[in-house]
Amino acid sequence: MLGALKRGLGPLSGELGIHVCGGRGRHSRRTPDELLLVGDRTGIDGAALGKASRLVAKVDSAAVQDGFDLYLHGFIVADDGRWVVVQQGMNGDRRQARRYHWLSEGLESFVDQPHAAIDGCNQGEIVNLADRRAIASRQGQLQLLADQGPAGILRELTRLDPPAPDAQGLLPHLVLPDHHEVRPNNVIERRLHGALAAAAEQGPKDFAELLLVPGIGARTVRALAMVAEVVHGAPCRFSDPARYSLAHGGKDRHPYPVPTRVYDHSIAVMKSAVRKAKLGQTEEFAAIRRLDEQARRLEREASGPSVEALIAEERIASHAFGGRSVFGWEPPNGEQSRRLN
């Protein structure tokens, strides 16, 4: 979808005042350069937007360690400087994707509860240095760099989990860990030392600046967080902020076929809200915002059927809602669901 928006809106960006940058893989890495070009054309600060792009990517790949590797980074910016970022990550082992949403409006910090939303299956407890409760860990990591330097941090890290002796000596070999999480003995000490030395030399004044130091990635941040937990008693693991969305199904019938009637109605509501907002009538947008706030409040308190039961119910009712997928329209009474599953 981001690729289609980029191709479709590109020729109209001057007229519409909306610029779509980034994309998948190598296209995502060109985003800061694309934002500089947008800045040259429009007069907004392209360098600041490029820094925001890099920082958003670093937060979701290094500060939030949930097991999903980023492969898509879309940066949409308007002529007035407001922006939206949509990133997607993939966990190949679980065959699951996760989407990260950022909005410039109301964003007070890139590292303190910055997300507008994270959509995906909740993974329980994860390393989440973007959690508001992780402020002690973030400050502790900066203090470690200033007080102990690379050598002292590596000493503490070795004490946490001494590396196992190499039985093969200097013979060529390859050892792959049988676990997903990064442990101290999985870190290549030489590279970690170089990254820590670069960070110490930069002297970052806050955690956001630390993330932007070249070479500082998930493993270095994880090592710093683990040592900070021991030295300063500052935890780095908190609940996963991801929320699973069941709004409009999927074209591959997962978690259920797209309910086209619901889909069309949702688009109509949003179109109406945007049109009225342009005329100065903001009641519809305010109602949508209140509905979202109430839904989030109820999530903390309400209970009900399991996700599996909700999906099964949606599949049974799919025909009534105009259910459709790449396999065609859904027949009555979930006959196709039973046939394909």
Q: For residue 103, what are the β-bridge partners?
A: 84
In terms of average pLDDT, the best of 31-45, 249-263, 290-304 is: 31-45
Q: List the one residue out of 144, 140, 341 whose CA is nearest residue 254.
A: 341
pLDDT over 90 (residue 246): no
pLDDT on residue 182: 47
Position 55: which residue type? L
CB 215 within 8 A of CB 194: yes
pLDDT on residue 288: 82
pLDDT over 50 (residue 174): no
pLDDT on residue 77: 97
Give the global pTM.
0.74
Higher pLDDT, 53 or 227: 53
* Cis peptide upstream of residue 255 (ω within 30 degrees of 0): yes
Rounded mean pLDDT of 164-178?
Answer: 45
pLDDT over 70 (residue 169): no
Q: What is the pLDDT of residues 75-129, one digit of tens each?
A: 999 999 999 999 999 999 988 899 999 999 999 999 999 999 999 988 899 999 9
Confidence of residue 341 (pLDDT cuts 50, 70, 90): low
- As given in the structure block, the two tokens for residue 169 are 């000596």
Burial of 258-296, coded b for 16+ CB within 10 Å and e otherwise, reads bbbebbeeeeeeeeebeeeeeeeeeebeeeeeeeeeeee
Confidence of residue 18 (pLDDT cuts 50, 70, 90): very high
- As given in the structure block, the two tokens for residue 326 are 């790449």
Domain ranges within the chain, ordered by starting residue:
2-121, 133-163+187-238, 258-340
- As given in the structure block, the two tokens for residue 316 are 């049974």
CA-to-CA dists, residue 164 to 116, 161, 167, 183, 288, angstroms: 43, 9, 9, 12, 56
Higher pLDDT, 182 or 90: 90
pLDDT on residue 339: 52
